[in-house]
Structure 1
Amino acid sequence: MRFSFLFKAMLVVALVVLFDQLFPYGFSGAGVGAFAGLWLMGLVLGRRDVRRSAPAWIALAAAVVFAGSLFDSPGLLAWALYWGALSVAALLPKAGHFDDAWLWGARLALHAATGIGKVISDLRQFARFRRNKGASAGAIMATLGLPLVGGCLFVALFAAANPLIAQALVAIRLPSASQMLVWAAVATCVWQSLRPHAAVMRLASRLPAPEPVLPGTSLPSVLIALAVFNAIFAVQNGLDIAFLWSGGALPAGMSQTEYVHRGAYPLIGTALIAGVMALAMLRPGSASARHPWARRLVTLWVVQNLVLVASSVLRTIDYIDASMLTAWRIAALAWMGLVALGLVLICWRILRGRSARWLINWNALAALLVLTVCTFVDLGAAAAAWNVRQQAPAAVDLCYLGEVGDGALLPLIALERQPMDAVTRDRVRYVRDRVLTDLSARQNTWTEWTPRGARRLAQAQTLLGRDRDRPLAVEQPAWRLCDGTIEHPPIVTTQS
């Protein structure tokens, strides 16, 4: 036990030192994936129970996949999924098996919240152990007092007598407070994976069943509510069918653009609320869940919510056609797809009498699959490529492509090859040159280098050749805007 504790402490120190060496200027580059892989190795080496747990190896394999994504191109989403998989692997020997997503969500939240508390409790336990062995703080200070005081005295004397020693002492730089805080945060995260808090499993087991409850509901109130809700939703869906899907003429004073662009996200929120209410009104075992008309009405209501989601998708697509595609709009469409799947699962759960845990498990699995795909697909690059293919060169939002960064480099090169006027081509070259310069600078720095960036830079250099076209030089006081437009200062006239 004592050796295991000290070995884990040494693993923590080693990982903190590696973190400090890998990220001297910031948490970026392929080193993020390398550190993730080293953390996984530390977990396997430091936890015998993890090595002996077959389910834990499944979670470790998932963590390896996300560590590979972090190595190729680091991102917050990939890091969150990696940490989740690593934490599941760390907790599985205590849980024994994969039970349901509801409990695992609570365990991960408690695991994250108890990190500092676990470090403090282990330090107290270690101090108590040393005190019982006769190694109290006073005894340690008494033992080390003479070597420390005497050593400092002789070092000071030699520094006064030898300029080389004095220069070496002056060159020593103590870590800053912010650097020590980063070390402490890294040590806490690693330590809690090696020694999870016992309260995580205990508190998570006390969670109530995830069944939504609406107080005061009865069979008559549920039937009346479902009839009213279906009527209200029918009005909204009827208006969408008449004006959104069919393209009918709107009343005077309202434009098609205003009608289309206004309700995408509120309608998704409405569908989510309706889904939760449907679950609460037809809980398994309740009178409404067994009543045939209640089941028919809730099925009709779920179908109407699916039409509502489809209308939201159409609104978003129309909005994209009217403006442009962005990474967030791709994510919004994926989210709408998950909402639609969740509604179908709600209906299936009600008709087949499934539990709320079954519903949460399937929704969590669908969300995890979508998020995993998003860690390997650059949504910004996909959006940039779509905009370049679908829009006229003068209509492409070059400011957005510049914000996308190196993901927009290849689409910018493709855009530059399209026919366009000289001014637009110069603006495209400016944004392309800025993105290319930034990517080249980052790839030439080992702390910023990534395999995905290296592949993009190599492709861009192949397409552009050695003598690539440059944008027009702009002399002060003129300047460039984010889309490459040349701005000149206003001409000030003086009156005599």
Structure 2
Amino acid sequence: MRLSFLIKVPIVAALIVLVDRLFPSSFAGARIGCLALAWLIAVAVARRDVRKSPLARIGLGAAALFAVALFDDPGPLAWVLFWCSLSAAALLPKVVRFDDAWHWAARLALHAATGVTKPLSDVSRIARRRRDTNPRAIAATLALPLIGGALFLILFSAANPLIARAFAAIRLPSLWQILVWAFVAFCAWPSLRPHAAVIRLAARLPDPEPALPGTSLPSVLIALALFNLIFAVQNGLDIAFLWSGGALPAGMTQTEYVHRGAYPLIVTALIAGAMALAMLRPGSASERNIWARRLVTLWVAQNLVLVASSALRTIDYIETSMLTTWRIAALVWMALVALGLVLICWRILRGRSARWLINWNAFAATLVLTICCFIDLAATAASWNVRATTPEHVDLCYLSQLGDSALLPLIALEQRQMDASTRDRVRYIRDQTFTDLAARQDSWADWTPRGARRLMRAQTTLGPNPARPLPVAQSAWRNCDGTIGQSPVTQVQP
């Protein structure tokens, strides 16, 4: 058995012990970043090919960046990006070069799917290599030392109270602990020994060139002319009523027109982009036709107007309602769709390959997601709502759902002019959020650097004796927006 294989077994065991010590009860806090960094170091130590590969070292660097994000403020996005970076670093030495994001998405999916079977297949391979041994021979070899050792331990524990106390202190792991250990092993082992089928199966995937079967040059030209006409009608209506604010027909309000269609229009733009690629597939007759290229360029331009209208609808909805993290994500997604349409047009005009198009879209998406790992979108939404809305109209229920991300905006809101009832409600939400954050930061298990910085700024702004909300009666309670709820009093008839 090779030495490199034997080294990986204690490394996985060390990761299991680390998880057992770091997360005795919950998976939270800066400990997640410590685990990610330890996993990264384990891969670098156990895999000599990863250390020597320049591309794999880039993957390790990206994984280290996301480990820092997990340490500062852990979240599912940073964890997914960390796993993708670390898995790419583990797989890169097995490929000749980085080809395209399409094949790498397949490799990562296969790597995740085969991770469960890889430890089992390695155990089975070891068993096949030891064909000269069978269960009976192993049992015969171990019978004398095991039975004899157990007998002497029983006798010594009866004779020596120190040994008896040591045996009494032994606690067998629970079923949950065993399942957690197995989960860690099945996650860590594939990064140390990737399955060979991952590279082999991904290499069989065809190039990502979309195709529309049964299309000809005349059908493409007719379709493009019709699509441009339909999109021109939609964009003309948006320009007349959405962008210019023209008078709508009787029975329809501006709010109704604005609030409908933002997401369906984005889906329309995505479908149109895929169809544009398929209709001007490299080597096809339409790809060489000048009118087909012009009509596709015009169609892509109309799709850009469609995406801009979708963004404007979302912005108008935010101004009449409020900003949420999902609406920020929607605007970011619309920007990526617009960039994708521009890249599609550039690819058609410049004759670029589908690999070029996919790689640039993947790069843009990865860059945006990386930035989002280090930005608290919930705090951004809370700050905007506090600044753009009067205190009486701020959705305090939504701010209370954001947790400590809304703490500093709540403190800023509390300092504005408002009536006494609204101030008391704001003060209650702020007090609860501050207390919860302070309690988490006092616990080593839940402590995070971002939470510590936020708590320090809040303490500096509030001072040593922050104002407290009004007390409520024992039978009363506070709702999510800080209003006081009161149970109806049942009057007893004399």
With the shorter chain as reference, the TM-score category is over 0.9
Aligned partner of 2:181: which letter? W
Aligned partner of 1:400: which letter? Y
- Quote the residue 1:276 is aligned against: 274
- Quote the residue 1:126 is aligned against: 126
- Quote the residue 1:42 is aligned against: 42
1:267-288 alpha-carbon deviations (Å, 9 max, x no partner):
0001000100111111011111
CA distance in 1, matches of 2:351, 2:431: 60
1:292-338 alpha-carbon deviations (Å, 9 max, x no partner):
11111111111111010000000000111011111111111000000
1:113 aligns with 2:117: no
Q: CA deviation at 1:168?
A: 5.1
Trace 1:311-460 onto structure 2 (pairs within 5 A).
311-460=309-458
Aligned partner of 2:111: which letter? H
- Quote the residue 1:62 is aligned against: 62
Q: CA deviation at 1:22?
A: 0.8
CA distance in 2, matches of 1:492, 1:242: 59
- Quote the residue 1:81 is aligned against: 81
Trace 1:1-400 onto structure 2 (pairs within 5 A).
2-132=2-132, 134=133, 136-156=134-154, 169-400=167-398
1:395–1:283 distance in 2 versus 1, CA, 3 Å: same
CA distance in 2, matches of 1:68, 1:155: 48
CA distance in 2, matches of 1:58, 1:77: 20
Q: CA deviation at 1:494?
A: 5.9
Identity %: 71
Q: CA deviation at 1:476?
A: 2.1
3-state SS, counterpart of residue 24 of structure 1:
coil
Aligned partner of 1:76: which letter? P
Q: CA deviation at 1:487?
A: 0.6
Aligned partner of 1:380: which letter? A
CA distance in 2, matches of 1:376, 1:337: 19
CA distance in 2, matches of 1:263, 1:68: 39
TM-score (norm 2): 0.96
3-state SS, counterpart of residue 487 of structure 1:
strand
Q: CA deviation at 1:3?
A: 1.4
Aligned partner of 1:416: which letter? E
Q: CA deviation at 1:469?
A: 0.6
CA distance in 2, matches of 1:473, 1:229: 64
How many residue pairs get aligned? The number is 494
1:161-194 alpha-carbon deviations (Å, 9 max, x no partner):
7777666545433222232222112111111011
- Stretches of structure 2 lacking an aligned partner (at least 5 in a row): none
CA distance in 2, matches of 1:271, 1:138: 67
CA distance in 2, matches of 1:495, 1:217: 84
TM-score (norm 1): 0.96
Moved over 2 A (4+): 128-132, 136-179, 490-496
Aligned partner of 1:415: which letter? L
CA distance in 2, matches of 1:130, 1:389: 71
RMSD: 1.7
Bigger CA drift: 104-113 or 146-155?
A: 146-155
3-state SS, counterpart of residue 189 of structure 1:
helix
1:402–1:164 distance in 2 versus 1, CA, 3 Å: farther
1:221-267 alpha-carbon deviations (Å, 9 max, x no partner):
11111111111111111111111111112122222111111111110
Aligned partner of 1:360: which letter? I
CA distance in 1, matches of 2:209, 2:492: 76
